[in-house]
Amino acid sequence: GNSVTQMEGPVTLSEEAFLTINCTYTATGYPSLFWYVQYPGEGLQLLLKATKADDKGSNKGFEATYRKETTSFHLEKGSVQVSDSAVYFCALSDQVQGAQKLVFGQGTRLTINP
Amino acid sequence: NAGVTQTPKFQVLKTGQSMTLQCAQDMNHEYMSWYRQDPGMGLRLIHYSVGAGITDQGEVPNGYNVSRSTTEDFPLRLLSAAPSQTSVYFCASSYRLAGTDTQYFGPGTRLTVL
């Protein structure tokens, strides 16, 4: 079945460092790809998405490009802030019995130190 | 708009007790779903609904029941709680079934079964 693999955490960086969180997927067809973020004590919220190959999703300084050839959707940010500390989930859309569901990676906990 | 709301935020049950986790959305979304979040496993789909009166199972449905009598509400019932159901539960909704659609998550219910 379809699956998502994220780099293992936790990841700890200093403020203004460059961030990469790796995400690769296995899927039949061409699913949409998502990054969701979960801040402490809150539910998940969409950070960015890409719906077809070579699309780049971006939001709040984060970017990710849908790479079909490497089946990847790595999350990047050029200069992280303390407020970016959260758990990040890579996900793909899948069809189960005719309905859409999200298949999630295991999540990567990011901590940014001042 | 309140978005997706969930109650309670925290709950402790004893083995064998029953309870209902509430979920409501005010965005007129047709599609609603329940996920559970366990450490190191991302989120897994429990049940979903594509509209009022229509529900179906996800990948981990055992021990849970759902119903959808209105567009707004999608309660999740635990009939006889077990320690393996200790988890954080998230309700989500989206406008359509399309794989490109964003799902909106509630803040979660943290359940502990003793």
Residue A1 has pLDDT above 90, yes or no: no
Q: Express each pLDDT in B56-98 by its tens digit.
A: 998 899 999 999 999 999 999 999 999 999 999 999 999 876 6
Question: What torsion, rounded to 10 degrees, do the Cα atoms B55, B59, B61, B67 define?
Answer: -20
Residue B75: predicted pLDDT: 98
Residue B60 Cα to chain centre, angstroms: 12
Among chain A residues, the shortest Cα distance to B43 is held by A104
Smallest CA–CA separation between B43 and chain A, in Å?
6
A100–B98 CB contact, under 8 Å: yes
Higher pLDDT, A100 or A112: A112
Tokens of B5: 């709301």
Per-residue pLDDT, averaged over A19-31, amounts to 92
Q: Specify burial of residue B62 (Cβ count, 10 A radius: 0-12, 13-18, 19+).
A: exposed
How far is Cα B64 from Cα B77, in angstroms, rounded to an integer?
6
Residue A96: predicted pLDDT: 63
Residue A57 has pLDDT above 70, yes or no: yes
Strand partners, A112: A13
Higher pLDDT, A100 or B88: B88
For A73-110, what is the HEC assignment?
A: CCEEECCCCHHHCEEEEEEEEEEECCEEEEEECCCEEE
Sheet holding B64-66, edge to edge: B4-7, B19-25, B76-78, B64-66
Residue A42 has pLDDT above 90, yes or no: no
Residue bearing tokens 């971006």: A58
Per-residue pLDDT, averaged over B7-29, amounts to 96
Residue A102: predicted pLDDT: 86
Smallest CA–CA separation between A16 and chain B, in Å?
28
How far is Cα A91 from Cα A104, in angstroms, rounded to an integer?
4
Task: Decide: helix, strand or coil at residue B1.
Answer: coil
Q: What is the mean pLDDT of chain A?
A: 92
Q: Does B61 touch chain A (CB under 8 A)?
A: no
Residue B96: predicted pLDDT: 75
Smallest CA–CA separation between A29 and chain B, in Å?
12
pLDDT band, very low/low/confident/very high, at B102 (cuts 50, 70, 90): confident
A94–B48 CB contact, under 8 Å: no
pLDDT band, very low/low/confident/very high, at B41 (cuts 50, 70, 90): confident
A93–B106 CB contact, under 8 Å: no
Q: Does B16 touch chain A (CB under 8 A)?
A: no
Q: Which residues of A touch B34 (CB under 8 A)?
A: none
B45–A102 CB contact, under 8 Å: yes
- Which phi and psi angles does A27 have, rounded to 5°? -155, 150
List CB contacts of A45: < 8 A, sequence separation 6 or more: A36, A37, A38, A39, B104, B105
